[in-house]
A and B are shown apart, each in its own frame.
Chain A
Amino acid sequence: MYPIWRLSRDGRGVRDMAGTTALPDAAAAAATGLVRLRRMAAMRAFDETCLEALRRGAIHGELHVGIGQEAVGAGMAEALRPEDAVVSTHRNHFHALAKGVDARALLAEICERATGLCGGFGGHMHPFDPATGFSATGIVGASLPVALGYAHAFRLRGQAAVAVGVTGDGGAHSGAFHETLVIAGARRLPLVVLVENNGLAISVPFDAITPTKTVAERAPAWGATGLHVDGTDVDAVAGAFARAMEHARGGGGPVILEATCHRFRGHFEGDPEGYRSRAERQHLRERHDPIALCRARLEAAGLAPATLDAILSEEKTRARAMLADVLADPLPDPSEARRHVFTETP
């Protein structure tokens, strides 16, 4: 038996639903571990491909990648069901992939192609996929009220579905966060608020700006359940996320799941990052890389290094091929620019 998530170091004020799960047998654990490693590898390769697309001039607006935060995205994937909804942020690629959004269509959208998920109208901050129940917003905090809407619809229709609203730690300070949880808590709606706490809102450190050590410990104020997990540990995130979804799905009311993690790159591509040193960034990559941590754990469990390396390189190759393919797609036809809006202007 082993705990499936960790509380914050002091654990103060964080309500712990901590259950334990039976230790799976070694073979099953290895299989699960490999799937998780591959998911993370695919996510990182996806975002590295976005960086390459940016270098090649295929993206002309802002780009926010999630490199370093793969364990959160990959940890979500297992417990999400097709009928669930995810509403994400400006840093949304991994959440989209976790929800099952077609990677090629997403990359094509990011690369401003006519074949993109939204025909090139939305771009990287605004991917919408009704087919998988995924959407996002570029306005911080604004994802949560939308997730609340899904949660109410699910309840109204008697569906056993859960709405997941994603926010960063920065978004957790917004009025929308509070207002959403007041309604969700009072109505015990099936809502999971996933706080991806990478410790920074652009340049502003979380602990310099907030009165509590964690976001999760505020949960009792809204009658919600608060969980805190090490967001660099994919196994811990997968366990905690599954528990949170189960709780919300079972009628237990909203959950705030806070996953502590690190953003390896700038807030956006081009961010001069004057707020942290090169050494700090180096340290994060060396000590807190969720992929390296997962890989080391699997190696320690007896998996062959070659098998693990193959997974990483296969995903890189796959992503590169996908980019080459996407860049051959046509750009949107300028004459279509006004197609999707009611407008009287010529």
Chain B
Amino acid sequence: MMAAAAPPDRLAMSVPATIAEAIGLEMARDPTILCIGEDIGRAGGVFGATAGLQQRFGPDRVVDTPIAEMAFAGMAVGLAQAGMRPLVEIMFADFIGVCLEQVFNAAAKIPTMSGGRVRMPVVYKTAGGCIGSAAQHSQCLWGLFAHLPGLKVVAPCNPHDHKGLMAAALRSDDPVVYIEHKALLLMKGRDFRHHPAVPDGAFTVPIGRAAVVRPGSDVTLATLSLSVEHALEAAGTLAAEGISVEVVDLRSVVPLDADTVAGSAARTGRLLVVDEDYLSFGLSAELTLRVIERLGLSGLRQVERLALPDVPIPAARTLEEAVMPGPAAIMARLRQMAKGR
């Protein structure tokens, strides 16, 4: 009798391995899916999020490209029009600057411009977030993508959601920008404060549904991506001080699940939105207003937002820490809010 293969040790699995698993399952299921990007094939991705896929599916379905983002971001549009379902990796979100044209003028608009005749099942997968490396290698930019109509924008935190949202993105007939956080890509399952078990097989997490990842009664804290872990750290510390924080992981920016946030804020009366993206004209303002639209101007006792002030991210650690909304800044803001209880 053959011994059953041991199930993968999920807690020891890295986030990139989880993503690669999701892509592999979808590629095996659907032969129209292919991956295109720099260093994704032979090297398996700079973080390993496509590890092993080229060996499995060959160099024509896991395509290593030159540094020619405009060409391959647009190639995805043509592939989609030709009936394929491409996933494009833009290594870091910042690099979207050289190929935004194909993302926002083509992929995002063609479903509408074609009067609904052309679908655009394209995933633009990219790593955002700050782990050092200054102004050109640290941005999240989900607010930018969200501002451009026609794109779904997801930014998972825990390994379960990385896997399920990747599968959902690959099954979406609309273009999806899938934003990883570099710090999360360096983590394993067991490093997470909140890590729902990751099923071995294929599953999807519906795009556009937030999750309450820690219940609480004094303040609602809504955020996404790495900041969810920061929020949980802050909430854990503050619990010992008698401050009860409910943490909501938004999981996507478009669609934005304001209903879940409003439901929570209606109970706590206080809302804090934490965003590692720029403060102005972004997620924090949009979410706050949508909650107010739902609860009315008198529906909340307090609304605050904590985000990257509108400055390019400086290189030196001392300067970077002064602008990033990390756990300490979150705790300080929550304490301040709790004083008004």
Distance in angstroms from B180 CB to nearest chain A CB is: 17
B136 on the A face (CB < 8 A) = yes
Whether B197 is near chain A, meaning CB under 8 Å from some CB there, is no
B319 within 8 A of A: yes
Q: Are B315 and A122 in contact (CB under 8 A)?
A: yes
- Which of A126, A201, A332 touches B136 (beta carbons < 8 Å)? A126
12 A–B contact pairs at CB < 8 A? A60-B317, A121-B319, A122-B134, A138-B133, A138-B134, A202-B43, A204-B42, A275-B43, A331-B316, A332-B319, A334-B321, A345-B279
Complex Cα spacing A139 to B94, Å? 8
Q: Which of A121, A123, A346 has the most CB of B within 10 A?
A: A123
Main secondary structure of the interface of B (DSSP, over half): loop
Q: How far is the CA of A208 from the CA of B66 in the complex (A)?
A: 9
Minimum-distance CB pairs A-B, first 8: A123-B315, A61-B132, A120-B316, A173-B66, A61-B133, A203-B43, A334-B322, A112-B316
What count of chain A residues pass the 8 Å CB interface test?
Answer: 50
Q: Mark B124-163, 1 if CB is under 8 A from A, else 0.
A: 0000000111111100000000000000000000000000
Which parts of A305-319 form the interface with B (CB within 8 Å)? none
For B317, what are the chain A residues with a Cβ–Cβ distance below 8 Å?
60, 112, 331
Q: Is the pair B316, A139 in contact by a Cβ cutoff of 8 Å?
A: no
CA distance A174 to B42 in the complex (A): 20
Contact with A along B309-333 (1 / 0, CB 8 A): 1111011111111110000000000
Chain A residue at smallest Cβ distance from B99: A175
Complex formed: what's the CA distance from A62 to B62 in Å? 27
Cross-chain contact B136 with A137 (CB below 8 angstroms): yes
| Chain A residues near B44 (CB-CB < 8 A) | 274
Seen from chain B, the residues whose Cβ lies within 8 Å of a Cβ on chain A are 38-39, 42-44, 46, 64-71, 94-95, 97-98, 131-137, 279-280, 309-312, 314-323
User: What's the Cα separation between A113 and B280 when bound, in Å?
Assistant: 29
Q: Which of A138, A336, A344, A345 contacts B319 (CB 8 A)?
A: A336
In angstroms, how far is the closest chain A Cβ from the Cβ of B99? 8
CA gap between A209 and B71 in the complex, in Å: 14
Nearest CB in chain B: distance from A10 CB, A: 22
Query: What number of A-B contacts does a CB cutoff of 8 Å give?
Result: 138
Q: Which residues of A contact B (CB under 8 A)?
A: 60-62, 109, 112-114, 116, 118, 120-126, 137-142, 170-171, 173-176, 201-204, 208-210, 274-275, 331-338, 341, 343-346
Return chain A residues, CB-CB under 8 Å to B42: 203-204, 275
Which residue from A121, A171, A209 sits with its C-beta under 8 Å from B314?
A121
Chain B residues near A343: list those with CB within 8 A. Answer: 309-311
A345 touches B134 (CB 8 A): no
Closest to B46 in A: A202
Bound state CA distance, A125 and B133, in angstroms? 8
Chain A's closest residue to B280 (CB) is A345
Contacts of A209 in B (CB 8 A): 64-66
**Structural contact, A337 and B136, CB atoms closer than 8 A:** no
* Contacting pair B70 A60 (CB below 8 A): no
Shortest CB-to-CB span from B37 to chain A, Å, is 11
- Least CB separation from A275: chain B residue: B43
| A336 to B309 alpha-carbon distance, docked (Å) | 13
Chain A: minimal CB distance from B141 (Å):
14
Cβ contacts under 8 Å, A341 to chain B: 310-312
Of the listed residues B46, B94, B314, the one surrounded by the most CB atoms of chain A closer than 10 A to its CB is B314
Contact B315 A112 (CB under 8 A): yes
Name the distance in Å between B49's Cβ and chain A's nearest Cβ. 14
Q: Which residues of A contact B38 (CB under 8 A)?
A: 201-202, 204
The chain A residue with its CB closest to the CB of B279 is A345
Q: Are A120 and B315 in contact (CB under 8 A)?
A: yes
Q: Which of A122, A124, A171 contacts B67 (CB 8 A)?
A: A171
Give the residues in chain A near B316, CB-CB below 8 Å. 112-114, 116, 120-121, 123, 331-332
- Is there contact, CB below 8 Å, between A142 and B98? yes
Q: Which residue of B lies closest to A140 (CB)?
A: B67
The distance from the CB of B126 to the nearest CB of chain A, in whole angstroms, is 14
Q: Which of B65, B70, B137 contacts A138 (CB 8 A)?
A: B137
B134 and A126 contacting across the interface, CB-CB below 8 Å: yes
Chain B residues whose C-beta falls within 8 Å of the C-beta of A116 in the assembled complex:
316
C-alpha gap A275/B43 in the complex (Å) = 6
